[in-house]
Amino acid sequence: MSTTILGIDIGSSKICAIIAEKSDNDDIKILGAGIAKSQGLKKGIITNIELASKSIKNALNDAKRVAGTQYEKVIVSISGAYTKSIDSSGVVNIPNRDIGIREINRAMQMADHNANIPNEYEKLHILPYNFKVDDQEFIDDPLGMNGARLEVQVHIITAQKSSLSNLEKAVKSAGVEIDNIVLGGYASSIAVLNEDERELGVCVVDVGGATCNLVVHTGNSIRFNDFLGVGSLNITNDLSTALHTPLGAAENIKINYGSLHGNANDLIELPVIGDDGSTHEVSLDIVSNVIYVRVEETLMILAKALEDSGYKDQLGAGIVLTGGMTKLEGIRELASAIFDNMPIRVAKPREMDGLFETLRDPGYSTAIGLVLYGAGHFTPYEIDSNKKLRYKDEAISPSKNVQNILDGSDNDTLLNEESGIESARDKLASIADIKEKKSSDGLLSKIWNRMTQLF
């Protein structure tokens, strides 16, 4: 059965809504997309729920108009500005020595239980990066293996409860019920990385309008993530200040002439800020210098964050750059110099059926990644924002709301094999207790009636 997925990337400069369909044979086709200018957000943080909701609704309405269909599953991004991360581990015994989904879930739940999470934070992703069966380490996938003891190490991404609540309110006000919330940097990595890069170790840097998200992948999962409240809008502000021109004109300069290479002989005419009708000429060399200084500073801060993470030496595949700022000419060469000549790749979202030309832009990596996440393209195992275990090759269930309408039941337990098994067992036990009680009551009643007849 095909599933229709809605991905909503809530960015600081734009809101992007994409509706896609996953077919029975796992093919994904883009059906429609809508893009709206962000309002009520600053550096990834919602500052006005009403304005943010209006922007989300505008993007959603455009996407629905193009797609001509409704959606069944809703995946929404959250900025790294809200998040903190921690590593944890869990160990469980395997009495029957056969490791299945249930045992993997138990180990991950134990790692979750052992983590020390502040009260004001909610777990967003629990991502296992290393399994150990008995004394054998670095197991890629323990499913189906034989062992008496299963240990797992996990990377837990948490988000502020208040921020999650504000995000949910803004999206709900736009007429949408969220099924999953995904870290923006995680979604971007799903859209741009290939299997070799994940295996060798890679750092994804998504440089957006007002934020940068840094995610380190080694093996099957995320090992480190960080956030920087600087983006391409800072270049626009710098150009406006340095060239004494309005922000709109500065943005056009960045889009049309954005380069890190100097062009000393070329001049452009710009309006003067605060003086209607007045213009002045500016050398493109000055424009390039202003852009260069800001981009260099941004990349140097990111390089320092990567150095401090302790994972720099584990990145065999180097750095993958994506996001709107990567369209600047010369950014790959500058990044290579700043990141100590590590391999640098500037990435666009992966190709798929129906992908509009607009969506091939690096600025839409997160939005494409959300759709892919909803279609099952995530780490082999994960406990998601609903505290449900997700795993490769699982059946993609429709939204809770859709399922409730279909059968009038809560679909929560259906999404989690562990809880589903326990629920079924509890029901069977309850039925058995009732039958036993009824049987016992019936026997006592017969004995009492017989005694009353005798005496």
Per-residue pLDDT tens digits for 182-213: 999 999 999 999 989 998 999 999 998 888 99
User: What are the pLDDT digits (tens) for 101-145?
Assistant: 999 999 999 999 999 999 999 999 999 999 999 989 889 899 999
Cα–Cα distance for residue pair 87/113, rounded to 1 Å: 12
Q: Return the C-alpha torsion angle 113, 119, 124, 125, nearest 10.
A: -30
pLDDT at 13 over 50: yes
User: What is the C-alpha end-to-end distance of the chain, expressed in Å?
Assistant: 69
**% pLDDT > 70, the chain:** 85
Location of structure tokens 């469980």: 92
Average of pLDDT values for 158-170? Answer: 94
Say whether pLDDT at 250 is over 90: yes
Phi-psi region of 341 (alpha: psi -120 to 50; beta: other; left: phi over 0): left
pLDDT number for residue 278: 85
Residue type present at position 136 = Q
pTM: 0.84
Average pLDDT over residues 378-382: 86
Per-residue pLDDT band at 257 (split at 50, 70, 90): confident
- Of 112-126, 209-223, 226-240, 266-280, the one with minimum mean pLDDT is 266-280
**Of 36 and 220, the one with more pLDDT:** 36
* Residue given tokens 């600081």 in the structure block: 12
Q: What is the pLDDT of residue 15?
A: 95
CATH class of 88-156: alpha beta
Whether residue 176 is predicted with pLDDT greater than 70 in this model: the reply is yes
User: 370 versus 263: which is more confidently predicted?
Assistant: 370
Return the SS3 of 171: helix
pLDDT attached to residue 279: 87
The predicted pLDDT at position 396 comes to: 57
Looking at per-residue pLDDT, the higher value among 127 and 2 belongs to 127
Burial (CB count <10 Å: 0-12, 13-18, 19+), residue 157: buried
Structure tokens at 42: 């600053």
Residue 140's pLDDT is 86
Whole-angstrom distance, CA of residue 452 vs CA of residue 455:
5
- Per cent of the chain over pLDDT 90 is 65
Residue 150 Cα to chain centre, angstroms: 28
Any idea what DSSP says for residue 329? B
Classify domain 198-346 at the CATH superfamily level: ATPase, nucleotide binding domain (3.30.420.40)
- Quote the mean pLDDT of the chain: 85
The model's pLDDT over 424-455, given as tens digits with 9 standing for 90+, comes to 444 434 444 444 444 444 544 554 454 444 43
Look at residue 399 in the predicted model and tell me its pLDDT: 56
Nearest to 173 by CA among 54, 78, 79, 61: 54
Q: Which residue has the tokens 């393209």?
A: 377
